[in-house]
């Protein structure tokens, strides 16, 4: 199958500047935390990436540990075999910080760990470089200067174009930015968990920096911000199949179902799905440049992409969403 991208792919996607750089991120990007492992349906993986690019989604998010450390292999094969002629039109990202090999150097933020992880990720993906590379989590036991300077070295070596951080609080992210700036290296974003029910980044200073944009993951709270659970927990849903899932289980779902039903009514009045409205909600939040979605089939990507062109949520509806979700915010994971 020889893939040719849609000629209209850029017509319905918005692109926003990242931090103070000249790099524009698509308002929606595709993540590979789930459904891109070696055990996944490879044809479906291809079709999801093709669909995303045809929708103007130019950014694809990976990490060293996603899908049991195999997502980079699957995605890399697709990029190499089917999108190599479009390499200059796409942004491919990865991360280091969570465990992907055994032993003391398989996680966290030492220079040894992050550089070795970066090199493994490049090898697995078959790429020459990553457009953006993240420090996946703040390491309290390693000087931040060590972590960020190591990644700045990778930029100087041509392995990475831009740096970013993920799951950092505001002050740590700002310090990382200042370290990179001192090396004349662009550190452009903080990837954080953010959605209607999870607003912890609003309290930890992540939105306060004029220097960094936010990339938001889990925009649908693992599917809770959709119509999937409005009538309970389906047996074939992720929560039904994985009852001990720490992010999505009866204790996180059942107390929020009534609020979800009320938000579905607002979405219906707007002529869109709750999923689309939840993404639109994020795109109107402070500092947000891009929303990171996951998917198990191409149709979900098409549905989410429509959120970009939808009308802004009115101030009154934004207030209703706040009222419905009040008291149901996730405080910790």
- Chain mean pLDDT for the chain: 96
pLDDT at 333: 60
| Average pLDDT of the residues in 211-215 | 98
What is the value of pTM for the model shown? 0.96
248 confidence band (pLDDT: 50, 70, 90): confident
pLDDT at 35: 97
| Average pLDDT of the residues in 134-149 | 98
**CA contacts within 13 A on the Cβ side of 258:** 6
* Domains along the sequence of the chain with CATH: 15-223+274-314 (3.20.20.100)
Closest CA to 308 of 52, 89, 86: 52
Contacts of 169 (CB under 8 A, 6+ apart): 138, 204, 205, 206
Q: What is the CA radius of gyration of the chain?
A: 19
Query: Could you give the CA distance from residue 40 to residue 8 in angstroms, rounded to a whole number?
Result: 29
Q: Would residue 67 be called left, alpha or beta, if left means φ above 0 and alpha means ψ between -120 and 50 degrees?
A: left
pLDDT at 200: 97
Question: pLDDT (tens digit, 9 = 90+) per residue, 158-209?
Answer: 999 999 999 999 999 999 999 999 999 999 999 999 999 999 999 999 999 9
Query: Could you give the CA distance from residue 281 to residue 298 in angstroms, rounded to a whole number?
Result: 22
CB 163 within 8 A of CB 194: no
At 60, give phi and psi (nearest 5°).
Answer: -125, 125
| Average pLDDT of the residues in 317-322 | 98
Closest CA to 221 of 172, 275, 266: 275
Question: pLDDT (tens digit, 9 = 90+) per residue, 92-127?
Answer: 999 999 999 999 999 999 999 999 999 999 999 999
Share of the chain above pLDDT 90, in %: 91
At 288, give phi and psi (nearest 5°).
Answer: -75, 125
CB 267 within 8 A of CB 276: yes
| Average pLDDT of the residues in 34-41 | 97
**Residue 238 predicted with pLDDT over 80:** no
């Amino acid at each position: 199958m020889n893939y040719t991208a849609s000629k209209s792919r850029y017509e319905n996607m918005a692109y926003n500047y990242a931090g103070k750089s000249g790099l524009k991120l698509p308002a929606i990007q595709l993540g590979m935390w789930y459904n891109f492992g070696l055990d996944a349906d490879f044809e479906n993986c291809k079709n999801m990436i093709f669909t995303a690019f045809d929708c103007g989604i130019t950014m694809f998010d990976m990490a060293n540990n996603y899908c049991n450390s195999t997502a980079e292999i699957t995605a890399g094969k697709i990029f190499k075999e089917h999108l190599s002629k479009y390499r200059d039109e796409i942004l491919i990202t990865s991360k280091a910080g969570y465990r992907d090999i055994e032993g003391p150097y398989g996680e966290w933020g030492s220079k040894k760990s992050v550089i070795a992880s970066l090199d493994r990720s490049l090898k697995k993906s078959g790429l020459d470089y990553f457009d953006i590379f993240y420090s996946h989590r703040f390491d309290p036991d390693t000087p931040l200067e060590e972590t960020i300077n190591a990644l700045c070295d990778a930029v100087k070596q041509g392995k990475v174009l831009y740096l970013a951080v993920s799951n950092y609080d505001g002050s740590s992210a700002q310090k990382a930015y200042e370290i990179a700036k001192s090396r004349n290296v662009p550190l452009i974003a903080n990837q954080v968990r953010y959605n209607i029910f999870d607003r912890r980044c609003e309290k930890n200073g992540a939105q306060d920096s004029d220097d960094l944009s936010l990339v938001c993951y889990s925009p649908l709270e693992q599917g809770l911000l959709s119509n999937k659970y409005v009538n309970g927990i389906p047996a074939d849903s992720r929560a039904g199949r994985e009852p001990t899932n720490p992010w999505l289980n009866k204790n996180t779902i059942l107390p929020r179902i009534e609020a979800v039903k009320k938000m579905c009514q607002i979405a219906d009045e707007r002529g869109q799905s709750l999923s689309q409205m939840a993404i639109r909600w994020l795109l109107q939040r402070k500092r947000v440049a891009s929303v990171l979605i996951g998917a198990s089939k191409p149709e979900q990507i098409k549905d989410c992409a429509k959120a970009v062109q939808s009308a802004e949520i009115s101030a009154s509806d934004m207030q209703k969403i706040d009222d419905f979700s009040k008291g149901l915010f996730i405080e910790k994971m």
